[in-house]
Amino acid sequence: MSTDFEMVIGLEVHVQLQTKSKLFCGCSTSFGSEPNANTCPVCLGMPGVLPVLNRTAVDYAIRAGLALNCQIRNYSVFSRKNYFYPDLPFGYQISQFDLPVCEHGHIDLEVPTGEGEFAEKHIGITRIHMEIDAGKSLHDSAGDGNASLIDLNRAGVPLIEIVTEPDFRTPAETTEYLRTLRSIIRYLGISDGNMQEGSMRCDANVSVRPRGSDKLGTRAEIKNVNSFKFIEKAILYEASRQEALIRDGKEVVQETRLFDSNAGVTRSMRSKEEAHDYRYFPEPDLMPLQISDKWISDVRESLPELPVAKRERFLKEYGHTQEEAGVLSGDRALAEYFEDVAKHSGDARGSTNWIKNELMRELSNEGHSIEESPISAKDMAGLLALIKDGTISGKIAKDVFAEMYKTSKAPDVIVEEKGLKQIADDSSIRPICEEIVAANPGQVEQYRGGKQALFGFFVGQVMKQTKGKANPKMVNEILKELLDQ
């Protein structure tokens, strides 16, 4: 996109709440069940049945609202949003319209701007409302391909929709927002934020305008993008498409578009509906939702330390860099793992380095999360303790770590089984050093003649002969004594 224009982007994020039952009935919300196994007359929209609101879902919506600095409404109303979807048996969606449960919030981001540099970005949260999810149409597994099948397991699952102000100006800002938002909802324990399974889905409203203008352009909505990489690509393509239309003197049409990730383009899906097209009206089968101040207060007191606060604490308490604090506080389970290791080892710097550099690399290579780590926090702390008390050297520790990752065995067991204890007595190391010096008279002469860089050669030979088990500090001291005679 050229520098003559700027993007204006707002996001609508659907988050599936991690309740055990659906929003208005007792059906399970478990993922991966047999098609239509988790259904009942209520979520199938049968006549004569009445919805009953899931209180836990409301708790979770309030938690999200408080974490995103929203005002929580004491009086909130569910409405019918009328439109036809083949996988929505009601013929309407139970959602919220003019009286959502949360509104007027904000989130502050640290957006990367270069090598180790960050800029603050304030994003307004317009509203958070509750609603039910639709089912799922299956077109690819319908026998001869001439019919579609419908799985209603997801119909009625509770969602919150988090709507932002049009405050984003770059795709990178939207990605940082989504990462931060997912981190927050995971900290809160209200959703797993799994985009691959549809627990978190994003719609992006994109428009462009001449740089410097304060007038909003006509927007297009890109629906249901489910990866950070694709949302950036979709926004970049859509903004460029709109700029090209404007430069050609053509009109940007307000519409809903889909992102074709294979072709890397957005395609028109339907003309964009306005609120009046949905003919909203209050849901007659549900009483208005009344949330007391005590209810809000109780939820507020139950909130955990959130990522931003934890990041700031890590900076002060552990002397982390911004990058280290961001990585280790970005995921609640990872943050707890780090603090467990640091507490039990008494070595925050070592814990940071081993977790961030060694453990995270191995987990990332295998696509695993910290919850799937084969090394427990207790054993990681044990490894650091063995380094600290001189039982093993840093070099041997890497071999022990590799074995721990492979077998989940405790570090002291591996050290014992493989005979990896560090050699740290003079009577064992000195003869080896003397042997190395005696076996390399040419190098000794060069060293004594002023070629000091050869000292590393002698250290390397000793470490090679002891298979890395000699105490490096003692080796250096003894060699220095022998060579400087």
Helices then strands, each counted (H, E), the chain: 16, 16
Rounded to whole angstroms, the Cα distance separating 466 from 393 reads 12
Please enumerate in sequence order all residues whose Cβ is within 8 A of that of 248, keeping only pairs 6 or more positions apart, or say none.
Answer: none
The pLDDT value recorded for residue 468 is 82
465, with CB counted inside 10 A (0-12, 13-18, 19+), is middle
Indicate the SS3 state at residue 158. Answer: strand
Phi, psi of 87 (to 5 degrees): -105, 25
Q: What is the helix (H) or strand (E) element at residue 444, kind and residue range?
A: helix 441-448
Tell me what pLDDT residue 142 has: 54
Q: How do residues 399-448 score in pLDDT, each as one tens digit?
A: 999 999 999 999 999 999 988 888 888 888 899 999 999 999 998 989 88
Q: What is the pLDDT of residue 41?
A: 96
pLDDT given at position 272: 65
Cβ(355)–Cβ(341) below 8 Å: yes
The CA distance from 396 to 387, in Å, is: 9
Query: How far are the Cα atoms of 16, 167, 170 from residue 123, in angstroms, in the given order?
Result: 22, 6, 13
| Bridge pairing between strands 117-132 and 136-138 | unpaired
| List of the chain residues with pLDDT < 70 | 115-116, 140-145, 272-273, 275
pLDDT of res. 385: 93
According to DSSP, the β-strands at 255-260 and 220-225 are: parallel
Token pair listed for 319: 């002397």
- By the 10 Å C-beta count (0-12 exposed, 13-18 middle, 19+ buried), 414 is classed as buried
| Residue 240 phi, psi dihedral angles, 5° rounding | -65, -40
Residues 6+ apart with CB under 8 A from 408: 374, 375, 376, 379
